[in-house]
Structure 1
Amino acid sequence: MKVQKRGFFNFVFAFMPGASEMYMGFMKMGISLMACFMGAIGIIGFLGLSDLFMLIPVVLWFYSFFHARNIATCRPEIFAGLQDDYFWNEIIDGKKIIIKSESARKIGAWALIIAGVSIIWNMVIRNVMDGLTALAEITGMNYMYDTVADFIYSLPRLLVAVIIIIVGVKLIRGKKKTLYIEEQNPGYMTTAPSTQSTANTVAASTPAPFKAADNTREEGEKNA
């Protein structure tokens, strides 16, 4: 249930992206804001991206803060007309991006799978690195150990980076394909005329002598 709140707690919650929206009853809006904000920080930290990418969560924070304050201080009639929707649908023009319950279950399942694989990876890699450390001390090949260790620790980031690149390339190709179809067939979404209307058009365009001949033939067949 949506309730407009302008008190002190709403102002405090506005400092946490999505919290103020959820406090006023906009669950989809609040959860999507908080998930994107936390997810951006997590991905940047996991992939070890440069500090320039930290502008993404900073921009999200400012957007969320002023978005929450605008909702809290708007006129009651405007607040009553607000819809609980994912925040990106307010920014992206065109078709809305809707996450259905089936999609949410798939996302949750993949998140659990990734978390489980990450736990197993950490458990296995710890033992492997301990063995490599002992081997490097025995053989004196510390330089080789450093190279292998850096590669092993960077392997998850490398896989995630490859997946992100593949997804980005597919999105670009899909957009180009859609634009190409629209350019080649501007009216490919329009519906074709019905069969009945086509038949009526043909009948209307038939000359009168042919119609009379057809009627005479039909009467002869009936008398026979």
Structure 2
Amino acid sequence: MTRRKNGFFTFLCSLIPGAGEMHLGFMKEGVSIMGITMGLLIVSSFLHLGGVLFLLPMVWFYSFFNVHNKAGMSDEEFYALKDDYLFHMDQILPKNKLNGRQTVLFGWILVICGISIIWWPVIAWIRDILSIYFSEAVWQTIWRILYDMPKYVIAVLLILHGVRLIKNKKKELDLEESSES
């Protein structure tokens, strides 16, 4: 890694999440941050979940200040830093194999993505049919419900998963409490 970089160019690169890290020589970290940024954009556009975009400013600020923090370090501190990925697939998927729960989760993610991709052309077709047979008020109401359906489904899934997590944690705490007694 070369240490001294042009301050203005470092600033310009820091405006793009991951590019500043790459400019400073931290390629793995830069690729990780760029991947997170692009992943958030892809998920929000394919699934029509604009709410996911609230995470983008956090990623941007993290990347921006991370670059300036590293650029301001002394040479000893800077050279002591290790370039590493933010997420390690070998920890998430040991030996590149999915266990039972991971397989089911990955399967559901693929199903939801597939349905989402098919959903928009299908409801556009339904809208065209409804506009022929029903008054505008009726088909607009049905269209609005169909248009927002993926958001409702994902919201319900998130709520159910949150409730499950809370119940499991409560069971853990109850077991710990009973074992201490």
TM over 0.5: yes
Distance 1:15 1:111 in 2: 31
**Deviation of the 1:155 alpha carbon:** 0.5
Equivalent residue for 1:17? 17
Higher relative contact order (CA 8 A, sep 6+): 2
1:117 aligns with 2:119: no
Q: Deviations over 1:139-198 (max 9, x none)?
A: xx3221121111000111111111222222233333333334444446xxxxxxxxxxxx
Equivalent residue for 1:81? 80
Contact 1:6 1:73 in 2 (8 A): no
| Aligned residue pair count | 166
**Deviation of the 1:16 alpha carbon:** 1.5
1:154 aligns with 2:148: yes
Contact 2:14 2:64 in 1 (8 A): yes
Distance 1:73 1:110 in 2: 44
**Deviation of the 1:109 alpha carbon:** 7.4
Matches within 5 A, 1:174-185: 174-185=168-179
Contact 1:32 1:86 in 2 (8 A): yes
1:69 aligns with 2:68: yes
Residues 15 and 123 (structure 1 numbering): CA distance in 2 closer, same or farther, change over 3 Å? same
**Deviation of the 1:74 alpha carbon:** 1.4
Q: State the TM-score, normalizing by the size of structure 1.
A: 0.57
Residues 9 and 46 (structure 1 numbering): CA distance in 2 closer, same or farther, change over 3 Å? same
**Deviation of the 1:30 alpha carbon:** 3.2
Equivalent residue for 1:129? 127
Identity between Structure 1 and Structure 2 (%): 34
Gaps of 5+ in 2: none
Equivalent residue for 1:99? 92
**Deviation of the 1:135 alpha carbon:** 1.0
Contact 2:37 2:59 in 1 (8 A): yes
SS at match of 1:46: coil
Q: State the TM-score, normalizing by the size of structure 2.
A: 0.67
Structure 2 counterpart of 1:128, one-letter code: I
Write out the 4+ residue segments of structure 1 that deviate beyond 6 Å after TM superposition.
Answer: 105-111
Moved more, 155-164 or 38-47: 38-47
SS at match of 1:166: helix
1:46 aligns with 2:48: yes
